[in-house]
């Protein structure tokens, strides 16, 4: 019996070495990015997760309504001469969340100014834009005429800021 175990041990060790040699390599994809604003003009979220992670509009069981979100952004617009153009913003796509055939429209406001699709509106006046300011962007759901329907809703809010 000892002889059988003594012979089996090297065979077992060889089996471990062989299986380790046959292990598949592992690869990982790590996404990295950087957003480096100019010192003359920027509109950046205070918390980078605002643009890096999905933002959840929470369901309120008490009111049976979808709640709004508000996230702070820092903004500045100046040039070397000290003259600051106003900061303008526009929606690049319709602000909507969808679940199958059901949609929920979204109202988007920056610095308490409603943003519209395709039309630039002034969101920070020139005199206020010279020094960095912190201001909210809010996204509010518009309750559909038939009420909210259950589903898993997703969407994107694409906003472009400019200092023309």
Residue 68 lies in a domain: yes
* Residue 9 confidence (pLDDT) above 60: no
Q: Which residue has the higher pLDDT, 16 or 97?
A: 97
Residue 36 pLDDT level (bands cut at 50, 70, 90): confident
pLDDT at 106: 97
The answer to whether the CB of 89 falls within 8 A of the CB of 110 is yes
Query: Which residue range is the domain that position 66 belongs to?
Result: 41-162
Flag whether 9 is in a domain: no
Of residues 126 and 16, more confidence is placed in 126
CA distance 106 to 117: 12
Instruction: Identify whether 5 is part of a domain.
Output: no
Question: Between the CA of residue 72 and those of 40, 43, 59, 118, 127, what are the distances in Å?
Answer: 19, 10, 21, 23, 20
Name residues whose C-beta falls within 8 Å of residue 127's C-beta, 6 or more positions apart in sequence. Answer: 84
Within a domain: 17? no
- Residue 122, burial from CB neighbour count under 10 angstroms (0-12, 13-18, 19+): middle
- The C-alpha angle with vertex 145 and arms to 139 and 151, in degrees rounded to 5, equals 65
Residue at 7 is within a domain: no
Any idea what the CATH number is for the domain that residue 112 is in? 2.60.40.2040
Rounded CA gap, 119 and 95, in Å?
14
Taking residues 119-139, what's their average pLDDT? Answer: 93
**3-class SS at 56?**
coil
Ranked by mean pLDDT, the top range of 21-30, 39-48, 79-88 is 39-48
Element (H, E) at 73: strand 69-77
Beta carbons of 158 and 122 less than 8 angstroms apart: no
Query: What's the CA gap between 70 and 135, in Å, rounded?
Result: 10
Mean pLDDT confidence for 109-114: 98
Could you give the number of structural domains in the chain? 1
Mean pLDDT (whole number) for 113-135 = 93
**Does residue 97 lie in a domain region?**
yes
Q: In this structure, is residue 36 part of a structural domain?
A: no
pTM for the model:
0.76
């Amino acid at each position: 019996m000892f002889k059988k175990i003594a012979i089996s041990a090297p065979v077992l060790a060889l089996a471990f070495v062989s299986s380790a040699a046959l292990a598949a390599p592992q690869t990982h994809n790590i996404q990295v990015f950087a957003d480096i604003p100019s010192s003359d003009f920027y509109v950046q979220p205070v918390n980078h997760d605002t643009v890096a992670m999905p933002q959840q509009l929470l369901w309120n069981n008490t009111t049976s309504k979808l709640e709004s979100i508000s996230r702070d952004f820092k903004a500045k617009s100046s040039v070397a001469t000290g003259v600051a153009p106003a900061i303008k913003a526009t929606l690049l796509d319709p602000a909507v969340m969808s679940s199958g055939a059901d949609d929920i429209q979204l109202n988007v406001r920056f610095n308490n100014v409603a943003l519209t699709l395709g039309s630039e509106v002034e969101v920070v006046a020139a005199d206020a834009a010279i020094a960095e300011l912190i201001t909210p962007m809010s996204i509010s759901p518009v309750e559909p005429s038939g009420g909210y329907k259950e589903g898993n809703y997703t969407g994107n809010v694409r906003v472009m800021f400019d200092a023309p």
